[in-house]
Structure 1
Amino acid sequence: MRSSIIHRDPDILNGEPVFRGTRVPVQVLFDYLQYSTIDEFLIGYPHIDRAMVNEVLTVAANQLTRRRARHERTA
């Protein structure tokens, strides 16, 4: 699944994945989720909406699932 919300550009934060149209690294969402909630992330970054967060989480879940399936096929 190619994401319309995750953007990489070598001129923006050295190519770190960010929410499209922002300079907010996707990693910040995962850092928040480690100790907090999506709601608190959205309060801290009001220009990012829940749909954007959901898409990032879906992309991450799909990538993890694909990696696991690949690993199981080679094991």
Structure 2
Amino acid sequence: MSIVESPISSDPSVMGGAVVFHGTRVPVQTLLDYLDDGFSIETFIEFFPSVRREDAEQFLRLVGRRDS
């Protein structure tokens, strides 16, 4: 069994406690908004290079979403 680090975190001192991608100040909701607006995960990563693609993909799997 392996331990997988969570791709997300929440800290009251970072973005007011919003759920963000671990090690960044990018809210996970931003990725969901991009996908809902028809943008691809590639576009999101271009605009938010501090987010690792692997973390974005893992988050989407956790919430049951596919990248568009």
TM-score band by shorter chain is 0.7 to 0.9
Moved over 3 A (4+): none
Higher helix proportion (structure 1 or 2): 1
Where does the alignment leave 5 or more consecutive residues of structure 2 unmatched?
A: none
CA RMSD between the two structures: 1.9
Where does the alignment leave 5 or more consecutive residues of structure 1 unmatched?
A: 63-75
Structure index of larger Rg: 1
TM-score (norm 2): 0.79
Between Structure 1 and Structure 2, how many residues are aligned?
61
What's the % identity of the aligned pairs? Answer: 38
- Whole-angstrom distance in 2 between the partners of 1:38 and 1:12: 24
Residues 20-53 of structure 1 show CA distances to partners (whole Å, capped at 9, x for unaligned) of 1010000000011012110100110112122111
TM-score (norm 1): 0.72
